[in-house]
Amino acid sequence: MSLKNKVVIITGAARGIGRSVALELARLKSKLVLVDIDLKELKEVNIQVKNKGGEVISIKGDVTKEKEVKKIIRKTKKEFGNIDVLINNAASLLQKPIEEIQEKEWNSIIQTKINGIYNFVKNTAEDMKSERNGKIINLASIAGIVGLKNSSAHAAVNGGIINLTRQLATELSPYKINVNTVSPGVIATSMTEDLLSNKEIKEELISNIPLGRIGTPEEVADAVIFLASKDSDFITGHNLVVDGGWLTH
Ligand SMILES: NC(=O)c1ccc[n+]([C@@H]2O[C@H](COP(=O)([O-])OP(=O)(O)OC[C@H]3O[C@@H](n4cnc5c(N)ncnc54)[C@H](O)[C@@H]3O)[C@@H](O)[C@H]2O)c1
């Protein structure tokens, strides 16, 4: 997949999809910078990457805080040089009817994804532009395209990401920087663990998925890695949906 020695930053790498991307990229011999607020879980991933022979640094950091993001970028450049790939993946789940959502909860969902992307793209764009090289992949969701139960914050934030990605693709294309979105459907990760432990909810969700099952984080990682690789050099501003067919009906 031509990702050997590429320097890749992955946010939200301690669990789920971010972790799967990290492990697959370790196999492909990329140089990894793993970022998460959960240092304990992140250290576990760091060990697993090293066991695969991967070069990696893991940094505790909150994507919503620009000061911390600037530090992460400085550390990355000191350790590995220029950044080739940025994967904006960090997020958390909030499923409530809109009238029950507290202001703090709403802001946290918006800030983690939208401000997280803003902070990382803002602080890597200049270097990527001068190198005429870069791949940026933003994780969104099918909630950014269709209505789902109790998902207003996710609709707002993921619809925003899909559109922000198109804008960034337009803005950065002249500098040979590709910007794309991956939108998962329902995937078995720590984010959905509680939800999927309820048999009735799980069956109801599966009834919306033509392929008849919940997706795996590895299946989303494959899509992310395709968009990070040379194989997708002529693709930008795209939203790659990985949902087992949910959006077909
Ligand atoms: N799992 C699904 O069904 C699903 C569906 C649609 C979209 N997605 C999207 O895929 C991406 C990955 O989701 P996942 O299922 O792997 O989630 P997950 O909860 O398993 O992992 C998310 C990681 O992000 C980290 N994180 C949260 N806030 C952070 C912050 N402020 N700074 C740094 N790290 C932070 C968490 O600690 C966690 O390790 C997210 O963007 C999510 O919205 C997931």
Q: Give the nearest ligand 1 atom to 215 CA.
A: 3
Encode pLDDT of 129-144 as tens digits: 999 999 999 999 999 9
Q: What does each C-alpha distance from 144 to 3, 90, 186, 247 come to in angstroms?
A: 29, 16, 13, 11
| Rounded distance from Cα 163 to ligand 1 centre (Å) | 19
Which of 11, 64, 66, 92 is the pocket-test mutation for ligand 1 (most atoms within 8 Å of CB)?
Answer: 92
Residue 247 covered by a domain = no
pLDDT at 106: 98
Whether residue 25 lies inside any domain: the answer is yes
Q: Classify residue 249: in a domain, yes or no.
A: no
**54 closest CA partner among 27, 76, 81, 36:** 27
In a domain, 203, yes or no: no
Distance separating the N- and C-terminal Cα atoms of the chain? 33
Domain presence at residue 245: no
The pLDDT, as a whole number, for residue 72 is 98
Please state the rounded mean pLDDT for residues 177-183: 99
**What integer pLDDT is reported at residue 81 of this predicted model?**
96
Report yes or no on 209 lying in a domain: no
Regarding the beta carbon of 13 and ligand 1, being less than 6 Å apart is answered no
Going by alpha carbons, the residue nearest to atom 42 of ligand 1 is 91
Query: Is 58 domain-assigned?
Result: yes
The burial of 48, by beta-carbon neighbours within 10 Å (0-12 exposed, 13-18 middle, 19 or more buried), is given as middle
Q: Whose CA is nearest to atom 29 of ligand 1?
A: 90
Backbone angles phi, psi at 97, to 5 degrees: -60, 145
The total of structural domains in the chain comes to: 1
pLDDT band at 52 (very low <50, low <70, confident <90, very high): very high
Q: What is the pLDDT of residues 80-129, one digit of tens each?
A: 999 999 999 999 999 999 999 999 999 999 999 999 999 999 999 999 99
**177's tokens:** 């920087």
User: Residue 130's domain spans which residues?
Assistant: 7-187+217-240
Residue 208 in any domain: the answer is no
Determine the average pLDDT of the residues in 17-37. 98
Q: What is the CATH number of the domain that holds 53?
A: 3.40.50.720
Question: What is the pLDDT, as a whole number, of residue 166?
Answer: 98
Does residue 1 register a pLDDT over 90? no
Q: 90 in ligand 1 pocket by Cβ < 6 Å?
A: yes
Is the beta carbon of 123 within 6 A of some atom in ligand 1? Answer: no
